Structure 1
């Protein structure tokens, strides 16, 4: 716990030093070094899935560096969740073990999952410092086989937003605005509209395209009010008032398309003091790379920056006054030559079904030099799962999407192919900046550190004890092997076991104790205190006002290939269900056996009075004090001359009086009204029944002082992608193989020549094979490539197992 505290304190001190800096660029860089922003990306094998399918994924988690590289995160546990749109939202939760910022896993989709839009998300403990913008989120549609789902475009209701370039518009000067129109499902929809004055005079008209994007320019006048009037194809109209434009301030205007290889930048200064210093900071990959001192001629300044001075990817231009006061921001995407290129070449031009395919993957830089790195590869049947036209990949994610903090439309990925549409998108966004610093420095939220392993943290509460105490932690894995760790609490009773490494769910047993020395110099452990375990904060799931509407497109109709695939899948599924049904006949559900209590055989477990000893009576000095308070009301008297038993065995008065009340479960009182073996000489008998002596006592409901047992989730086991054997299994119901994911390998490394050979058996289908390669180089540069080839020939007729046919 002390280590955890000092790490957090060190980060806060570094952040305070960043806040004390005067230069905005230094503030950004110092803060990003103290709180590196983790970029989390999951490469999945398919864009959408079917029921009973498996989601295979590779995780890439990195932190940006000043030299534009991505460094592996120090975090080791990565929390991955599949969230469903229901009251109980978690369809799956697991912990992936990262090694040098990379990890792998899979999620088997339950058979009873309903078709719909699910969300795959991933985060580390450290990423919780930055809120939802640092959590990886990907929508995944799960459907029945042969159906493709897409968000329903609902043009009856829509929202529209107007975004001034640079975030602020100044009256009296021509300004550019981006427009975005979205339906309730986040789809862009086309609309038309115009801007008018309060008197109804039209200033300018505009329209948005099928992606819901558009732009306009006009010159707002001082002290004038404007409103936006819009209408969609269905005739639904909406209007809203534009807030008044400022009559003084700064405006940042950037034209990325005026010249092919440069950006034209204009900064307006209206009604501001001329002695105020203004700088333009250029930020890429989260770090301030350059600052430009602005010199105004009257109320404006103009400059031109070559694209060669900037790296490809997102560039953030921040207009800053007085060294540390940002007033405007403009995001621009710099197109350039790919820094890492992926070349995919099959060793043969044509392949037949079930043949072994060989692909040579070559990774080179923009000069053609070989690149060493690691990548994951997904090879799918493009007829069963239609590839997305422009999916978000690791390259576009790390260079662009991870840098944005605003919501992006559903068709986000398509904008990468159209620079002007992408520029409109960027004008509607905001840079993620270093948003969490004020919350952290003001102690409005906790500081989350990098987890270098699994942690078990908590505290020991004990009002009777002050100071540190010893701890023992026992881990028991699924095979029953124990692992013991020892530690201490701090003076406030807090503790943490750091950097632990175990797989699957394990049983954990924590003991809090202190050593007491005896006169003979021997010592014994005294366990005390109530142990509380702290769980990692789970990010909240944003509430959905309603479920997204989905359009299901039937791909089976008029497609014999998919119809045959469905028939094969149905036969295999029915075979599995039949096997499960047969197995259920042999499954015997165990029930906890109830053993007859031998302590009460002498009176057939039928006492005259049975007193239960509840937890609220544990403060009594001994059992006789408790009996005086409770049993005398029933006309029962007792003395040292009565008969006393402990768990059915004779005991004297002194032994019973020394017992702790918390150890007793019941007291059976025998008045001698019925014959029994314990009423000797006709005296009243008391049988003290302890918890420890009860063969049927449920210890799971008892909190033992200084002891806490619980289950904890470990790293998810790593499974290997299954490929059916060449020869048919005698127990297989069918000899056909139509897997939608033909091959998946999450860990492939290039050699010194930047090459890797990938070999895999094709499926039975005469289809189009889609290859998707995503990875990151040893120098921290992401790369991505796709390729398609056809499998020639007719697919085979169905070959059923003869035993199944009979």
Structure 2
């Protein structure tokens, strides 16, 4: 609920209903569209050939940071320095979360910086700035002596210094805060020194940047005076000085004392009888407003910080007509995120030692079944001097709130000896936040929503007549999809141009897809064409590419570690080439696919035919007496299906129509027929018993019977059981034996799930000579907690090193969780 805050000496209560209506109209005009934020927690930022990049994706609602409960596609791109997409994968986000991976084993990848870009279809409405991007460094193993690091060079003609006054402009005869930021041609911050001079070249003040090219100073401009800025080492740099006004009113934040934010309205107007209003927003959501009496405008406004939201708060000064006069962004580090507590089973570990990490945060997310945490343990040499560049807090509260690049955003939350986190964030609010606040551009009337969320893939094609000369309108189309033991059925009709489209089709890994077409006269004299699946990716922006130019090179210690480890691996594996491939833990062998399409899981009975079975006249004669509970009389078959089985219909989005007994029938019509009639399938497609009886037994490879729970995938169609027939693979080699009106395709869809490899050492294998070198010691994209407690175990490798533990995530009410710890691995005694 929107609050009106009333403070002593400053604010008066407005009883007028007209005012209430006016302020409501103003806040209504500031409403924003629904917005998403997508964040990827990756295991690290530096990779070598043969490594795997692991990630956990978090998709949240933009204002509340609640995890989104709908499912949708996640598009992942690996982009090189030229803006070309080197690799692309698609994952399925469910309940706001998705684990994933990207193999970096392609020798065609060049050394250098790459962008990991991730987005959803809905985020395409807001452009490249709304996409998640992260810079990584990819390299080949080499001696640290071979590495070279080129530092960017300053060029007086290729830097830019912006001066940004607090509140939007400067006022004469008033003390103003003026912030500045210096960047090079690629947008990277550079440190500067300089001075402010008046028209007589007298130095008013000396300026120097304090952090990432940013700084600020106070000064009082005089009326009819001109000022200029000179930057040391860049004497020819032309700098535009900010606007100086002789009258007006603007906001200024003086300081934060204890639990209050000190806010002033600065004005040089002689007439102080005008009423002002201060409105406060957070992520586009109005928090409260204040009425400021003109009589008391010179007083300081104290706002309780408990009324502000965590992150960026937008403070706007309005006149009596609710027209904006001045604006100020303030970052409130309210909770400083919920800290995750760790404990270890011991203080120091040896190589190949068991590590147990216990997480105990009952006060943070106890009883929250939707709490989502991801955890990584990495060798400390895989971090640069400032630690990680990005985490879930810095992204949700900074990166995703500001347009344009923010370098090393996680560092803004680190207190240094001479520079506090609050000062760093204040610099950022005064510079980057001055014009680039995302929510300013998300007003409902400004954003056309041309892209809807997608869950799955769209499979399109067309139906033609038998001689492919004419497309068929209103032709019946059935689509079957089978992958990973999961099957789906879809039904539709062609449009006036003979085109068909099936949306939101779930394709897991590489799926086997069949499409079958039928004329309006119930004939299979058709030709079916399935279009190639094409996913178009947005163009990479130049702003994104600028991030690549100054990303930190791989730390020398990490180079050295990989070089020595690779040398040992080559001694142990003499035939090993330079390509480093991660060890693979074989959990179970995947059953060999027999090449047949199924829309169900395992059958209840399976009959494999051979050459001796050619003696049977047809399939029905062959089935007599072979399967318990299956009774065959001529071409009539009855299958004993337990009455306890409940048949679940399949959602198709349109009337279900299937070829059965020589005619196209709907499920409603079938409901009036005998439920004792089995459903016949030929290579996954429906077929009537007459057509099935005409197939030579010698052309049949396998027959499968469904009479148990697997028939539920057919809905009511399978209420009489299912007889599924598969022909031999060379059955399609002659035109006379093709299935009319049917086409089969293999289509790659969502990337498959892959588990992170975790070796387990026992007394029997701990002394094996086989080397164990892992930069990422442990990765878990989804930690399962019970009542706020969780425990994970893993084993150390052969590297003697310090290891960093990072845990981050979010709970269902949108609170951000962060944790960091470390431990040492010492040599075995």
How big is each residue's C-alpha offset from its partner over 1:625-680, in whole Å with a ceiling of 9 and x where there is no partner?
xxxxxxxxxxxxxxxxxxxxxxxxxxxxxxxxxxxxxxxxxxxxxxxxxxxxxxxx
Post-superposition Cα deviations, 1:140-172, rounded to whole Å, max 9, x if no partner, equal 112334769988343345321111213333444
Partner of 1:619: none
The answer as to whether partners of 1:342 and 1:364 remain within 8 angstroms in 2 is no
Match of 1:288 in 2: 286
Q: Which residue of 2 aligns with 1:126?
A: 122
Q: Determine which of 805, 815, 821 is the counterpart of 1:787.
A: 821
Distance, in Å, in 1 between the alignment partners of 2:336 and 2:137 is 31
**Which piece of structure 1 moves more, 533-542 or 114-123?**
533-542
Distance in structure 2 (CA, Å) of the matches to 1:789 and 1:91: 36
Q: Secondary structure at the match of 1:280?
A: strand
- Which residue matches 2:708? none
Equivalent positions of 1:710-749 (< 5 A) are 713-724=748-759, 726=761, 735-749=770-784
TM-fit CA distance, 1:574: 6.3
1:776 corresponds to which residue? 810
Alignment of 1:160-199 (within 5 A): 160-199=161-200
Deviations 1:384-433 (A, max 9, x none): 55575253211232233322224324566345532112101111123211
What's the counterpart of residue 25 of structure 1? 27
CA–CA separation in structure 1 for the residues paired with 2:342 and 2:484: 44
Q: 1:140 aligns with which of 132, 136, 139?
A: 136
- Equivalent residue number for residue 46 of structure 1: 44
Query: 1:239 maps to which residue?
Result: 238
Matched, 1:474 2:479: yes
**1:212 equivalenced with 2:246 (yes/no):** no
Give the unaligned 5+ runs of structure 2.
1-21, 416-420, 582-732, 736-740
1:528-578 per-residue CA deviation (whole Å, 9 max, x = no partner) reads: 99998896652220135897267757635997x666423234457864449
Q: By how many angstroms is 1:298 displaced? A: 7.9
Alignment correspondent of 1:621: none
| Alpha carbons of structure 1 residues 420 and 339: separation in structure 2 relative to 1, 3 Å | closer
Q: Gaps spanning 5+ residues in structure 1: where?
A: 1-19, 517-522, 582-694, 698-705, 796-806
Cα distance in 2 for residues equivalent to 1:470 and 1:460: 7
CA apart distance, 1:749: 1.8
Match of 1:393 in 2: 391
**Mapped partners of 2:128, 2:828: distance in 1:** 49
SS at structure 1 position matched to 2:67: strand
- Residue 38 of structure 1 and its aligned partner are, at CA, apart by 0.9
Structure 1 residues 498, 149: CA separation in 2 closer, same or farther (over 3 Å shift)?
A: farther
Structure 2 residue aligned with 1:12 = none
For 1:486, the equivalent position in structure 2 comes to 491
Q: Tell me the distance in 1 between the aligned counterparts of 2:530 and 2:443.
A: 33
Q: Which residue of 1 aligns with 2:79?
A: 83
Native 8 Å contact 2:49 2:579 kept in 1: no
Shift of 1:59: 0.5
Q: Secondary structure at the match of 2:221?
A: coil
Aligned to 2:789: 755
Contact 1:149 1:553 in 2 (8 A): no
Paired residues for 1:307-322 under 5 Å: 307-321=305-319
1:685-700 mapped onto 2 (5 Å cutoff): none
Q: Which residue in 2 is equivalent to 1:454?
A: 457
What secondary structure is seen at the aligned counterpart in 2 of 1:377? strand
Q: CA deviation at 1:465?
A: 11
In the alignment, is the contact (CA less than 8 A) between 2:355 and 2:793 conserved in 1? Answer: yes
Cross-structure match for 1:350: 348
2:520 matches 1:515: yes
On the 8 A contact 1:151/1:187 being kept in 2, the answer is no
Matching residue of 1:602: none
Mark the structure with the bigger radius of gyration.
1
State yes or no: 1:435 paired with 2:469.
no
Root-mean-square deviation (Å): 4.4
Deviation at 1:757, TM superposition (A): 0.7
Question: Counterpart of 1:240 in 2: which secondary structure?
Answer: coil
1:403 to 401, 404, 424: 401
What SS does the aligned partner of 1:127 have? Answer: helix
**Map of 1:565 onto structure 2:** 565
Could you say what secondary structure the match of 1:421 adopts?
Answer: helix
CA deviation string 1:196-215 (max 9, x = no partner):
34553433321113521100
Question: Per-residue deviation at 1:188?
Answer: 2.7
| TM-score, normalization by structure 2 | 0.66
- CA, structure 1 residues 171+539, in 2 after alignment: closer, same or farther (shift >3 Å)? farther
> Residue 154 of structure 2 aligns with which residue?
155
Q: d(CA) in 2 for partners of 1:420 and 1:786? A: 23
User: What residue number does 1:104 align with?
Assistant: 99
Asked if structure 2 preserves the Cα contact closer than 8 Å seen for 1:378 and 1:771, the reply is: yes
- SS across alignment from 1:267: strand
More displaced 10-residue stretch of structure 1: 108-117 or 453-462:
453-462
CA distance in 2, matches of 1:143, 1:728: 36
Q: 1:94 and 2:92 equivalent?
A: no
Q: Deviations over 1:250-286 (max 9, x none)?
A: 42211244x2332111224566998876432222244
1:709 Cα deviation (Å)? 9.1
Which shifted more, 20-29 or 163-172?
Answer: 20-29
**Does the 8 Å CA contact 2:345/2:357 hold for their aligned counterparts?**
yes
State which drifts further: 319-328 or 391-400: 319-328
Give the Å deviation of 1:354.
Answer: 0.5
8 Å Cα contact 2:45/2:135 also seen in 1: no
Aligned residue among 778, 782, 800 for 1:766: 800
Alignment CA distance shift 1:573-1:193 (3 Å): farther
Tell me, in whole angstroms, the C-alpha distance in 2 between the residues paired with 1:345 and 1:580.
34
CA contact (8 A) 1:195 1:203 kept: yes
Instruction: Decide whether aligned partners of structure 1 residues 345 and 139 sit closer, same or farther in structure 2, where only a CA change above 3 A counts.
Output: same
CA-to-aligned-CA distance 1:184-225 (integer Å, 9 cap, x gap): 454432211122345534333211135211002223344544
Q: Pairwise mapping of residues 333-732 of structure 1 onto structure 2 (< 5 A)? A: 333-338=331-336, 340-365=338-363, 373-383=371-381, 385=383, 388-389=386-387, 391-410=389-408, 413-414=411-412, 416-417=414-415, 418-428=421-431, 429=433, 430-433=436-439, 435-437=441-443, 446-456=449-459, 469-470=474-475, 472=477, 474=479, 484-488=489-493, 497-506=502-511, 515-516=520-521, 523-524=522-523, 538-543=537-542, 544=545, 548=549, 552=553, 555=556, 564-571=564-571, 575-577=575-577, 713-724=748-759, 726=761
Say which is worse superposed, 486-495 or 74-83, in terms of deviation.
486-495
- 1:54 CA displacement: 0.8
The C-alpha deviation readout for 1:223-242, integer Å capped at 9, x for no partner, is 5443322124xx66523132
Aligned-partner Cα distance in 1 for 2:216–2:396 = 27
Distance 1:216 1:580 in 2: 53
CA distance in 1, matches of 2:216, 2:190: 14
Pair 1:187–1:364, CA change in 2 (3 A): farther
Cα distance, 1:475–1:540 mapped onto 2, change above 3 Å: farther
Indicate how the Cα distance of structure 1 residues 568 and 323 shifts in structure 2: closer, same or farther if over 3 A, else same: farther
Give, in whole Å, the separation in 2 of the partners of 1:271 and 1:471: 76
State the number of aligned residues.
Answer: 632
- 1:252 aligns to what? 251
What's the secondary structure of 2:306's corresponding residue? Answer: helix
The alpha-carbon deviation at position 494 of structure 1 amounts to 8.3
3-state secondary structure, aligned to 1:141: strand
Shift of 1:311: 3.4
1:172 and 1:479 map into 2 onto residues whose CA distance is 74
Q: 1:570, 1:427 → 2: CA distance?
A: 54
Q: Please say if residues 463 and 517 of structure 2, whose CA atoms lie closer than 8 Å, have aligned partners that are also in contact.
A: yes
Distance 1:707 1:149, change over 3 A: farther
Question: Does the CA contact (< 8 Å) of 1:342 and 1:362 recur in 2?
Answer: yes
Q: Which moved more, 1:782-791 or 1:163-172?
A: 163-172
